[in-house]
Structure formats: C-alpha cells, structure tokens
Chains A and B, each alone.
Chain A
Amino acid sequence: MKKVFFCFAFLALSTAVLAADYQLTDAQATYTVKHLVKTVMGTSQELRGKMSCTTGACEFLVAAPVKSFISSDSNRDLNMQTVLEADRYPLITVRGKLPEAQLGQESYSFPARVTFHNIEKEYAVSVRRKGAGGTGAFTLRLEAHGVERPSLLTVAIDDEVPLTFSFTWKAK
C-alpha cells in the first residue's frame, strides 16, 4: 500500500516538475487592412500571454485589448473601435495547443482558436522561431467574425486582414 502511494506521489510530482510555465514578453501584433486605394496598419504592444507545457504538450493563451491597436490616424482608430464594438467586446484572444517538440523547430504551424468580436474561429498560425520566441502570422476574416467591413468611396476594405506578431517566451 505504501509503495502504491509512493508511486502515485512520484508520478504526480514528476508531472508537476516537468510542467513549465512561460510568460509572454516583448510581444507586439500588427494588423494590415487593405483597400483598393490604401493599405493601413495598426499595432498593439499590450499583448499578454501565458504558455503552460506539460507532458510534451503546450497550451497557450494570448490576449490583446482591441483599443490597444494604434494606427497613424486617431480618427481611423476610433472608427475601428466602433466597427469592432471595442467597448462590448474589449479583447481579442488566441488560444491553442501544440506539441512541445515543435517549439524547437525553425518554423512550424498549428491551429489556434481566435475569439474576435465575440466569435470564435479556428485559424492556421505559422511561426518562425527566433531565440526564445519568434515571429508569426495568420489571416483574420472579418465577416467570419460578424464584422461589418468599413468602406471608403463605397468600396469596402478587404475581408482578409493579415495579422503578424512577434513574441518572446520567458520561463516563469
């Protein structure tokens, strides 16, 4: 009986010891909105994230306030906040799981669940490793998230909004 307890305790402890938590640092994300006559970008440096790795798999969650995305024009930012209903749905979150072994690869991709405008969709995220972090990208589709595309001169902006990001994971 004693042996069984020791074995159980060992297993539980070793799982806990192998578990590693990482915190997101030096992260930023940039959206690119394309229109027939103009391409604009907005960047957020207020990303928060955590990754938890246990038994060979890593789970992560990253969030960014919608209002933290700043472009070169304050009027456009306010329009963006209106269209995205930033005060009703204040956060964009990205969460997913990937094998821990992938983190060591030069480049990798994995599925991630993105909650944007209160609608969750799955996207393929590609990442290029750089030290303890990397750079990555995925392409949001506005209409899939129920976002009414703003228009300029009666032409709506592209439905696809590429989102690029850079990040560093720091062990907690």
Chain B
Amino acid sequence: MLRFFFMFLTIISILPPAQAELELKDLGLGEQVVTVSKADRKRQETLEERHSMLKRHEVLGLTTLGLMTATMLTGGSAIDSNVHMYLGMATGALYFTTAYYSLTAPKPSGIRDRGNIVWHKRLAWIHFPAMVLAPILGYMYKRNEENDRKSSSLVKQHPTIAGIGFGAFALSAALMTVEF
C-alpha cells in the first residue's frame, strides 16, 4: 500500500502542474530579458534625449527652409537692399543651429542606418558645403558690386551654389517630413 502511495507521489511530482498559468520563463525568456537593468534605463534616457534633440532639429530645419526660401526669393534685389543679406544671415544662423542638434544628438551603439535617413544624411554632404560657401561668395559679390569691382568666376557662382544648397536642403527636409 505504502509502495503505491510513494509511486503515485513520484509520478505526480515529475508531472507539470496542469493548470498553472504560463509564464515568461516557460518561453525561455530569462530574467535578463524581463527585468530592467541600469544599462536599459541609461539607453532609454539616451533615446529620449536623442528624440528631444531631433525634434528640435526638425522644427529648426523646417523654419530654416522657410527662411531659406525667402532668401532665395529676395536674391534679385540683393544689390539694391539689404533684405536678402539679413535673411541670408538669419538662415545661416538657423542652419548651423539645426546642424548642431543633429550632429550632437546621441545615438545608441550598433544602429545601422536604413531608409530615408541614409539619403537625408548623404544630402548634407551637398548642402553643408554650399551653406558655408554661399554666404562668403554672396558677401564678396555684394562688396564687389558696391565697389564697382569685377567678381571672379567663382564669386559669380553664388546664386548657383546657393540654389544647389537650397535644392539639396529642401529635398533632405522633404525626405524626413514624409517620415516619422
């Protein structure tokens, strides 16, 4: 009798509990997946900081685009008035502030860029040099015109370089505003 009882107990003990609710450990997910470590918290903070900085980058970028458009539209009257120059200065200041938020936004390690962000970044190789060159050439062009001096062929390229920069920047912005 006692033998049967022990046999029964042994069988019962090796069987899984029939009605026990399934748990994550039944899926092979250990504590390290389920619990939040210090590193996880740090990564989340990094992501939130990145998100906040890129939001600012986005808003400033769109504002820059607006100002850049106004600068382009006033290009024709650049010699007669200073509106184009002031708009250009404001655009430049906002452009580099926008770039600052993008370049300093933290990025978690091991992330490989995919999708529109790749082209968004590639286009920066076009609009960034253009945004450095265009104001310098613009300033030289205006000064030459005011002093009746002949501008070099490079200085005369100010509208072209500004136009290329504007095109690349507008395209870069468009790529990201159809993303979220």
Docked CA distance A93–B171 (Å): 40
The yes or no answer to B148 lying at the interface (CB within 8 A) is no
Interface hub of B5, B23, B26 (most chain A Cβ within 10 A): B26
Do most interface residues of chain A lie in helix, strand or loop, or is the interface mixed?
A: mixed
Docked CA distance A69–B107 (Å): 18
CB atoms of A63 and B24 under 8 A apart = yes
The yes or no answer to A1 lying at the interface (CB within 8 A) is yes
Contacts of B47 in A (CB 8 A): 78, 81-82, 86-87
CB atoms of A91 and B180 under 8 A apart = no
For A15, give its contact among B4, B18, B50 (CB under 8 Å): B18
Write out, one digit per residue, whether chain A residues 37-67 have a CB within 8 A of any chain B CB (1) or not (0): 1101000000011101011000111010100
Tally chain B residues at the interface, Cβ within 8 Å.
Answer: 42
Instruction: Identify which of B7-15, B66-74, B76-84, B159-167 touches chain A.
Output: B7-15
Docked CA distance A48–B36 (Å): 19
Minimal beta-carbon separation of B29 from chain A (angstroms) = 6
For A72, give its contact among B22, B50, B114, B177 (CB under 8 Å): B114
CB atoms of B24 and A16 under 8 A apart = no
CB atoms of B180 and A76 under 8 A apart = yes
Tally chain A residues at the interface, Cβ within 8 Å.
Answer: 50
CB atoms of B36 and A88 under 8 A apart = yes
Docked CA distance A48–B108 (Å): 26
Docked CA distance A82–B105 (Å): 14
Contacts of A63 in B (CB 8 A): 24, 27, 29
Closest chain B residue to A5, Cβ basis: B4
CB atoms of A75 and B27 under 8 A apart = no
CB atoms of A65 and B33 under 8 A apart = yes
Contacts of B40 in A (CB 8 A): 87-88, 90
The yes or no answer to A152 lying at the interface (CB within 8 A) is yes
Given A85-B44, A157-B180, residue A48 in contact with residue B19 (CB < 8 A):
no
The yes or no answer to A79 lying at the interface (CB within 8 A) is yes
Docked CA distance A65–B34 (Å): 10
Instruction: Identify which of A6-14, A99-107, A126-134, A138-146 touches chain B.
Output: A6-14
Closest chain B residue to A19, Cβ basis: B18
CB atoms of A152 and B11 under 8 A apart = no
For B114, give its contact among A12, A73, A79 (CB under 8 Å): A73
CB atoms of B179 and A75 under 8 A apart = yes
Docked CA distance A5–B43 (Å): 57
Known pairs A61-B24, A95-B21 / 8 extra A-B pairs, C-beta < 8 Å: A13-B11, A16-B16, A59-B21, A76-B180, A78-B111, A88-B44, A93-B24, A151-B180
Q: Which chain A residues have a beta carbon within 8 Å of chain B's beta carbons?
A: 1-2, 5-6, 8-9, 12-13, 15-16, 19, 35, 37-38, 40, 48-50, 52, 54-55, 59-61, 63, 65, 71-76, 78-79, 81-83, 85-88, 90-91, 93, 95, 150-153, 157
